[in-house]
């Protein structure tokens, strides 16, 4: 079972980033035609979809990370002892 780190839970951050994510999705679906018209102009407008994806990724990623922390789910820590690395052996065969 995952153990708590003992710090305060980021409930306010979770709510803020959740609302920000919902606002981004609502804006994208409500103004999809306008965004498409702007981003299809070319030139510097062509960077619009990339910037939009980064904004969505940041907002949703921060929300999800804070949500998992609030729920007490954290990544597992690396083991102190490492297993020996098994390397694949190359084989040379002829198909006859």
Sequence-distant (≥ 6) Cβ neighbours of residue 94 within 8 angstroms: none
Predicted confidence at residue 91, as pLDDT, reads: 83
Residue 3 has pLDDT above 60, yes or no: no
pLDDT digits (tens, 9 = 90+) for 29-87: 999 999 999 999 989 999 999 999 999 999 999 999 999 999 999 888 776 666 678 88
**SS3 letters for the chain?**
CCCCCCCCCCHHHHHHHHHHHHHHHHHHHHCHHHHHHHHCCCHHHHHHHHHHHHHHHHHHHHHHHHHHHHHCCCCCCCCCCCCCCCCCCCCCCCCC
What is the reported pLDDT for 79? 65
In 3D space, the residue among 67, 47, 43, 45 whose CA is nearest the CA of residue 55 turns out to be 47
Domain ranges of the chain: 11-71
pLDDT for residue 1 = 44
Contact between residue 38 and residue 48 where contact means Cβ atoms under 8 Å apart: yes
């Amino acid at each position: 079972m995952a153990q708590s780190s003992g710090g305060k839970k980021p409930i306010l951050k979770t709510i803020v980033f959740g609302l920000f994510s919902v606002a981004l999705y609502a804006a994208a679906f409500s103004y999809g035609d306008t965004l498409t018209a702007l981003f299809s102009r070319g030139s510097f407008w062509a960077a619009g979809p990339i910037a939009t994806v980064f904004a969505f990724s940041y907002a949703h990623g921060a929300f999800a990370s804070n949500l998992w922390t609030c729920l007490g789910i954290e990544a597992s820590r690396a083991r102190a002892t490492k297993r020996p690395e098994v390397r694949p052996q190359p084989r040379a065969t002829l198909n006859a």
